[in-house]
Amino acid sequence: MASLSFMVGIFGNIISILVFTSPIKTFWQVVKKRSTENYKGVPYITTLLSTSLWSFYGILKPGGLLVLTVNAAGAIMQFIYVTIFLIYAPKEKRIQLMKLVALLDVGFPGVVVAVTLLAIHGNMRLTVVGILCAALTIGMYASPLAVMRTVIKTKSVKYMPFFLSFFLFLNATVWSIYAVLVKDFYIGVPNGIGFILGSAQLILYAIYKNQSAASKLEESTEEAEEDGSAHLVKGDVEIGSYNVEDENQLKNRTIARGRSLPKPPVSRQYSLQKIMKTLSMSP
């Protein structure tokens, strides 16, 4: 059983690393566009807090090496994400998020560590930190609920990255199994809730993915029709102007051609005048 739990823990480490690296594409777009657009920064801030306290829990827990390694790596990655988000966020949002980071990711963990080491003793330390970590993990899994509301409202999955939702679901599943094997209540409860919320996100993504694709197709069709109408109107104007210009050119050519006709010789002109005079004098 110990060997099985270790193997599941290793697999959980791999899945968790994939969860922590899944927002890389999102933040690459943020850096490229130099804007956070409608992306939410709260999930990364709460995840940074959660991974920091879980790292502390792994230090306190006997045999908690697998918990420590994965959450320490996650804390480093989340710190990078939060830093990038603060750099490219609008000024007003940046100020609000900086206050939130100072409160949740600096002040709160510092107080927890200080109180746990100075005021709490024995097994009670693990209990207090475990309860806090469980509550924060539930908050981490519940933080995408705001994004889910945006998806329902806009009927678009643009701002709900699929890979993040998928790996959160997979991560919760694996760590729930690990918690059952090692009989860790503090790991099992939040990840069980995460499994339920992750399932809801995937279902929501499946519902609105096709609608998002259909809306994009309609927008592209409307743009194509507008471009076609614009070209048609432009073509009519060009044809109309061509007809007017062509008619004027035809008139000018006719006049010029009439002027350029060769004149009959003088002798022929004289004979013609004589014939016309003779005909006019005859009865």
Helices (H), the chain: 2-21, 24-33, 42-60, 65-88, 91-101, 108-119, 124-142, 145-154, 162-182, 185-259, 266-281
Average pLDDT, the chain: 77
Mean pLDDT of the region 122-127:
90
- Give yes or no for a contact between 160 and 148, defined as CB atoms under 8 angstroms apart: yes
pLDDT reading at 268 higher than 80: no
Instruction: Report the distance separating Cα 195 and Cα 193, nearest Å.
Output: 5
Instruction: Report the distance separating Cα 196 and Cα 206, nearest Å.
Output: 16
- Give yes or no for a contact between 76 and 55, defined as CB atoms under 8 angstroms apart: no
- Give yes or no for a contact between 102 and 45, defined as CB atoms under 8 angstroms apart: no
* CA 241 from centre of chain: 47
How confident is the model at residue 282, as a pLDDT? Answer: 42
Per residue in 40-79, pLDDT (tens digit) is: 888 888 889 989 999 999 999 988 889 999 999 999 999 9
Mean pLDDT of the region 28-43:
85
pLDDT reading at 26 higher than 60: yes
pLDDT reading at 139 higher than 50: yes
Band of pLDDT at residue 198, cut at 50, 70 and 90: confident
pLDDT reading at 123 higher than 70: yes
How confident is the model at residue 275, as a pLDDT? Answer: 37
Lowest mean pLDDT across 192-196, 219-223, 270-274: 270-274
210 against 73, higher pLDDT: 73
92 against 210, higher pLDDT: 92
